[in-house]
């Protein structure tokens, strides 16, 4: 959105700030990372909130679940307006909601305000995720859609890892930690607003008078087999994401006797950091091939988690966290690149809506389930139960993927990139 009356100055600023052919692409990737970063910041603090406000593990699960409700609300009712009102306006809104969520956490006085802050954070993610990914696809100068997918995955996991480790560091060592820590996502969101400002608009139907759109889910029958493989894979990744983020901080405090917020942040950051780093090391492994590698590794890591939880040995948990990060990173990459490859451009919104819906619904199941089950079974046994269920699901998904060949082209995006010379 240009400064009115000074378009020349605005364009000059953009040309200065966007350097290189992928300059604008990288700014939007930063915006995507900010939402994951902000969602991660409260993670080491939930056990502290639980103790401070005196609510049960079941209520904590509902606070986690408010995030999914916020994501789905904006994903289906707000983000679809981006092509009509402008992608940049939607990304502005996403950054504002992210900052509002952080401020809500900073001033939270009880479980209701925590839930509202968590919902606002989810709404920022729902507005931003699909819109930023679409903008990145259009701003990638070489039309390399595997690069888009790889950077989007790294931005999500990397943003979360950085957020959770910085949060733990500030909470452990900074003054007024419960308030100061939320300056991080607020400042990141302000930079995000600037990032949106210096990037060009990429909406395809800007100014259209088409009525307000509600995103529907529709998958053509010919693509459903591959859709379910990709959706199942991303759901497994998000379920493990939810399980680990919900389980680990409380498990460290109650079972390992580690009350340090920095240690809690480091354990969670290790998994998400490895998931981000694996994108750089496996650039040529994608689509079905990434799933065939990722699923067995994921199954092995989940079995190890189930076996190691009752032993309460932090050294073994470090190894499990590393293994989960690598396997989740590969599996997530395979799901994203597979769905991108088989999705025709004209059906992209409808298919991706179902893809992300599966992901965020799967995220909420273990976060709420572990919290509720821990009241009856104890935290460790609840983690074993859900870890075992996820291991069985991953084994079945691997079998389905093994029996499903990747289509050639599939009506979607090409595997190879154009000549860059």
Task: Tell me the per-residue pLDDT of 126-185, one tens digit each, with 9 for 90 and over.
Answer: 999 989 988 998 898 887 877 888 888 889 999 999 999 999 999 889 888 888 999 999
pLDDT at 38: 96
Instruction: Please give the Cα distance from 361 to 68 (Å, whole number).
Output: 7
Provide the CB-side half-sphere exposure for 260 (13 A, CA).
11
pLDDT at 412: 46
pLDDT digits (tens, 9 = 90+) for 209-228: 666 778 788 888 888 898 99
Q: Token match 């902000």: residue?
A: 38
Distance between the two ends of the chain, CA-based, in angstroms? Answer: 33
**Size of the chain in residues:** 421
* CATH code that applies to domain 22-199+220-402: 1.20.1250.20
pLDDT at 5: 42
Asked if residues 356 and 230 have their Cβ atoms less than 8 Å apart, the reply is no
Residues 6+ apart with CB under 8 A from 421: none
The pLDDT of residue 6 is above 50: no
Region label for 402, one of left (φ > 0), alpha (ψ between -120 and 50) or beta (otherwise): alpha
The domains of the chain are located at 22-199+220-402
The pLDDT of residue 3 is above 80: no
Average pLDDT on 323-337 reads 90
Whether this model's pTM surpasses 0.75: yes
Provide the CB-side half-sphere exposure for 421 (13 A, CA).
0
Instruction: Please give the Cα distance from 136 to 294 (Å, whole number).
Output: 25
Average pLDDT over the chain, rounded to an integer: 85
pLDDT above 90: percentage of residues in the chain: 39
Band of residue 327 on the pLDDT scale cut at 50, 70, 90: very high
pLDDT at 80: 87
pLDDT at 203: 84
Asked if residues 202 and 139 have their Cβ atoms less than 8 Å apart, the reply is yes
Average pLDDT on 253-260 reads 81
Q: Residue 186: count other Cβ atoms within 10 Å of its Cβ.
A: 16
Q: What is the DSSP code (8-state) at residue 174?
A: S
pLDDT digits (tens, 9 = 90+) for 40-53: 999 888 888 888 88
Band of residue 375 on the pLDDT scale cut at 50, 70, 90: confident
Collapse the DSSP code of 216 into the 3-class scheme (helix H, G, I; strand E, B; otherwise coil) and give the result.
Answer: coil
pLDDT at 214: 81
Instruction: Please give the Cα distance from 164 to 219 (Å, whole number).
Output: 36
Annotate 367-381 with DSSP letters as a single string. HHHHHHHHHHH-HHH
pLDDT at 281: 75
Instruction: Please give the Cα distance from 238 to 332 (Å, whole number).
Output: 9
Residue 47 CA, distance from chain mean position: 22
Asked if residues 262 and 168 have their Cβ atoms less than 8 Å apart, the reply is yes
pLDDT digits (tens, 9 = 90+) for 24-70: 899 999 999 999 999 999 988 888 888 888 887 778 888 888 999 99
More confidently predicted of 104 and 379 = 104
pLDDT at 123: 96
Rounded-to-5 percentages of helix, strand, coil across the chain: 80, 0, 20
| Short-list 51, 50, 56, 49, CA closest to 107 | 49
């Amino acid at each position: 959105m240009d400064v009115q009356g000074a378009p020349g100055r605005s364009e000059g600023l953009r040309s200065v700030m966007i350097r290189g052919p992928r300059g604008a692409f990288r700014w939007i990737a930063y915006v995507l990372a900010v939402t994951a970063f902000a969602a991660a910041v409260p993670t080491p603090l939930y056990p502290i909130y639980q103790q401070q406000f005196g609510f049960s593990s079941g209520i904590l699960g509902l606070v986690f679940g408010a995030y999914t409700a916020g994501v789905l609300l904006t994903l289906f009712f707000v983000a679809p307006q981006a092509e009509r009102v402008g992608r940049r306006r939607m990304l502005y809104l996403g950054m504002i909601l992210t900052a509002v969520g952080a401020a809500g956490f900073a001033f939270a006085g009880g479980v209701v305000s925590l839930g509202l802050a968590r919902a606002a954070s989810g709404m920022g993610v729902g507005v931003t995720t699909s819109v930023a990914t679409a903008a990145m696809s259009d701003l990638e100068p070489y039309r390399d859609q595997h690069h888009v997918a790889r950077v989007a995955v790294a931005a999500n996991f990397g943003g979360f890892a950085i957020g959770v480790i910085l949060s733990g560091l500030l909470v452990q060592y900074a003054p007024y930690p419960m308030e100061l820590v939320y300056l991080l996502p607020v400042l990141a969101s302000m930079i995000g607003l600037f990032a949106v400002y210096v990037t060009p608009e990429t909406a395809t139907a800007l100014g259209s008078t088409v009525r307000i759109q509600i995103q529907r889910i529709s998958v053509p029958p010919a693509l459903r087999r591959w859709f379910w493989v990709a959706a199942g894979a991303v759901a497994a990744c998000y379920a493990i994401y939810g399980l680990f983020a919900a389980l680990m901080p409380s498990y460290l405090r109650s079972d390992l006797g580690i009350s340090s917020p920095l240690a809690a942040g480091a354990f969670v950051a290790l998994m998400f950091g490895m998931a981000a780093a694996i994108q750089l090391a496996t650039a040529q492994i994608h689509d079905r091939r990434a799933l065939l590698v990722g699923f067995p590794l994921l199954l092995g890591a989940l079995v190890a988690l189930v076996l190691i939880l009752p032993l309460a040995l932090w050294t073994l948990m470090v190894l499990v966290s590393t293994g989960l990060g690598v396997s989740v990173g590969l599996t997530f990459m395979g799901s994203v690149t597979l769905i991108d490859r088989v999705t025709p451009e004209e059906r992209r919104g409808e298919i991706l809506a179902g893809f992300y819906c599966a992901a965020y619904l799967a995220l909420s199941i273990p976060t709420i389930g572990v919290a509720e089950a821990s009241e009856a079974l104890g935290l460790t046994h609840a983690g074993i139960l859900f870890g075992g269920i996820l291991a069985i699901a991953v084994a079945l998904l691997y079998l389905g993927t093994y029996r499903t060949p990747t289509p050639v082209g599939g009506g979607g995006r090409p595997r190879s990139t154009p000549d860059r010379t």
